[in-house]
Structure 1
Amino acid sequence: MASQDHLLCLLPLLFIIFISSLHVLNASATPSHKLKSAITIRKVNRRGPYIGLVTVFETEEDAFLATVDFRPDPTHPFLDLSGRRFRIGKIHGKKVVYVRCGIGMVNAAAATQQMIDVFNVKGIVHFGIAGNINNSMSIGDVSIPKQITNAGLWDWLNPDKADGGEDAAYLDVGNYNVPQGDGNNMLGSIGYSYEELYSITGHTNSPQKVFWINTTQEWLHLAADLERMELLQCVNSSLCLPEKPKLVVGLKAATANIFVDNAAYRNFLYDTFGVSSSDMESSAVAMTCVSNGYTIIVIRGLSDIAGAQTGHNAVRKFGSLAATNTAKAVLEFIKKLPPNYNHNSYSEPSFMNV
């Protein structure tokens, strides 16, 4: 009897332990929404491979989705992951996965890496609008660059520190004093640093210092035919550009978490690096792709002249036109891909020093 009484006394404690273990198991188990997403991802990927499409913000997305060329998948039209909506569908018979990443380099790299990790994609087409840095280009033009640099990786130097260190280039703030040479500008100078590229072909934990990231040569050759395509000249019947826009392949681009709206800095970027456009995401997308060994092309429509204008920046006036011309170029590029596009998931990373 004593042992039975002892057992009866232990029953409440055993019950509590059992209930607690259920809570632990429930907490550690995969949440139902994650399990559902995993099942959907598996189904979507079995239908791949896909071309990944990454744009930035609403104006670009509206221009892209306004086209009748994007056909959502009837079974799985989209999948929501980490607050972003990945849209699945077809363009000109090619399977695509599209996402709007959000403004800035962190958003761009995060969304691109997520797309590469989660979906069965064979390459990334990154597109959006950009500021025009090259006087031979105009608002409404579309640029497909061959090289992109991160122009926002800085060493901000003391004013008494001499140039000649390991940076790729220098911006001496004192050169822009008004009047010229009036005193010693205590802001000193800015040194433009190199990226550290970790790649699948490199040695583990031994990044290579690079300044330019190259987009994929194969896709650039394919895009060369787009230089003859027709682009829109008018936002509406009362707002048109003075000249018909053009598409140019093979220029250079700069990326930084900076919206450039300053004529002096615009001139510095062009004179120092020879870039024709400035945006806030392209380098991050390109570097993520190169690091993982994925094909990458960047297509950017020029929405403004980055501070060289008189008065207000033209991005609000012509941003939608630049986004529409960019979307047209993206659709034409996808159309030119082989009918059964099946590029290897591995491609040789491409990078150059300045």
Structure 2
Amino acid sequence: MEETRWGAISTAIILLLLAINSVATPLDKRSLQLIGELNGEGPYIGVVTVYPPEEKAFFDSNALKPHPKYPFLDLSGRRFRVGKIHGKKVIYVRCGVGMVNAAAASQQLFDLFDVTGIVHFGIAGNVNSSFSIGDVTIPKYVAHTGIWEWLNIHGEMDKKDFGMLVIGRYNKPRAKGKNALGRIGYQPEEFYSHNGKPNVPEDLIWAQTTSQWQDLAKSLEGMKLDSCLNSSLCVANERKLVVGLRAATANIFVDNAAYRRFLFHNFHVSSVDEESASIVMTSLSNGFPVIVIRGLSDLAGGQKGQNAISTFGPLAARNAVKATLGFIDMLP
């Protein structure tokens, strides 16, 4: 019954899209036919990562077994790969860096394919001193900390703002008077939901990943993670995986110790990245489950010297992939 229902829905969508003027849609007739055929074989788990080093770690695992007839489909500049991981049907895509790319790729998955939810993995900056490079975090809450209200030097925070950053507090040496850059008030996201009132968004600070998937992920705690990239490049002690913390997302690569401390003390986040909140909010807005799995690649400015992402990014990506494959294996 479920397959019949989705087959009928897919056919209806194809007929509707074919009726649209070709100028209005980048999808050609052949692509629509392939999508319809693939959806008839679904449903699938959506798997999303961000950029080539993460994708390389994923491909190096050899976990993705390509679809025998249609191993991939190219749409709007992205390659959607179809196959199985641990016997589970998946559609994998690399979204690209930043919140716009993450939202666009996620929405494509929901609009075009019969997916049941998104498993998102990648690397992230570590802002929690109790964690180390190579550890993996599966956050319960993710905030979009890139919506700023840059206030007048004498301005007051809006009642909706939270976690105000007063730039003058970070003067070195501490200057007398006020810093001309003033202060920043963080604004909540406008969240549109599939079960909310049309055109009536709610203010949202913390987007919560799917509770059932969080509970399932807890059994990953204690899994064996890699501490070495090779025989000569290792990090001290064993790596750990922790479920249920907080993460921050913005179109900002954080490599600044003062801002790292601000994020940790004001938002109590353990990791920072540029995509997770976008994927979580897009999934929740459409009514689909979602989980985020991030390997910690650097100290987001807390280190001495150069950022470690170029050295240990591949290790963080490998551990994120291990956790992702373990999670997919547990999905019913």
TM norm structure 2: 0.92
Q: 1:255 aligns with which of 249, 252, 267?
A: 249
Greater CA deviation, 156-165 or 291-300? 156-165
For residues 69 and 89 of structure 2, what CA distance do their matches in structure 1 show? Answer: 14
| Other-structure match for 1:311 | 305
Q: Which amino acid in 1 is paired with 2:306? A: H
Q: 2:266 aligns with which of 272, 283, 288?
A: 272
**What's the % identity of the aligned pairs?**
56
Greater CA deviation, 291-300 or 30-39? 30-39
For residues 117 and 270 of structure 1, what CA distance do their matches in structure 2 show? Answer: 36
Q: Is the 8 A contact 2:63 2:86 kept in 1?
A: yes
Q: Decide whether aligned partners of structure 1 residues 92 and 157 sit closer, same or farther in structure 2, where only a CA change above 3 A counts.
A: same
Q: 2:193 aligns with which of 199, 204, 212?
A: 199
TM norm structure 1: 0.86
Q: What are the equivalent positions in structure 2 for 1:126-205 lying under 5 Å apart? A: 126-163=120-157, 165-205=159-199
Q: What are the equivalent positions in structure 2 for 1:192-341 lying under 5 Å apart? A: 192-338=186-332
Structure having the higher Rg? 1
Q: Which amino acid in 1 is paired with 2:44? A: Y
For residues 285 and 117 of structure 1, what CA distance do their matches in structure 2 show? Answer: 14
Q: Which amino acid in 2 is paired with 1:138? A: S
For residues 284 and 180 of structure 1, what CA distance do their matches in structure 2 show? Answer: 37
For residues 164 and 83 of structure 1, what CA distance do their matches in structure 2 show? Answer: 40
- Residue correspondences, number: 312
Q: Which amino acid in 2 is paired with 1:191? A: G
For residues 26 and 269 of structure 2, what CA distance do their matches in structure 1 show? Answer: 48
Q: Secondary structure at the match of 2:297?
A: strand
Q: Which amino acid in 2 is paired with 1:77? A: P
Deviation at 1:68, TM superposition (A): 2.1
Q: Decide whether aligned partners of structure 1 residues 69 and 333 sit closer, same or farther in structure 2, where only a CA change above 3 A counts.
A: same
Q: Decide whether aligned partners of structure 1 residues 28 and 193 sit closer, same or farther in structure 2, where only a CA change above 3 A counts.
A: closer
Deviation at 1:181, TM superposition (A): 3.8
Q: Decide whether aligned partners of structure 1 residues 28 and 155 sit closer, same or farther in structure 2, where only a CA change above 3 A counts.
A: closer
Q: Which runs of 5+ in 2 are unaligned?
A: 1-19
Superposition CA RMSD, Å: 1.5
Q: Which amino acid in 2 is paired with 1:323? A: A
For residues 213 and 309 of structure 1, what CA distance do their matches in structure 2 show? Answer: 29
Deviation at 1:29, TM superposition (A): 5.6
Q: Secondary structure at the match of 1:228?
A: coil
Dislocated runs of 4+, deviation >2 Å? 27-33, 162-166
Q: What are the equivalent positions in structure 2 for 1:335-354 lying under 5 Å apart? A: 335-338=329-332
| Other-structure match for 1:89 | 83
For residues 245 and 32 of structure 1, what CA distance do their matches in structure 2 show? Answer: 44
For residues 133 and 26 of structure 2, what CA distance do their matches in structure 1 show? Answer: 48
Q: Which amino acid in 2 is paired with 1:321? A: L
For residues 163 and 313 of structure 1, what CA distance do their matches in structure 2 show? Answer: 33
Q: Decide whether aligned partners of structure 1 residues 225 and 276 sit closer, same or farther in structure 2, where only a CA change above 3 A counts.
A: same
Deviation at 1:178, TM superposition (A): 1.4
Q: Which runs of 5+ in 1 are unaligned?
A: 1-26, 339-354
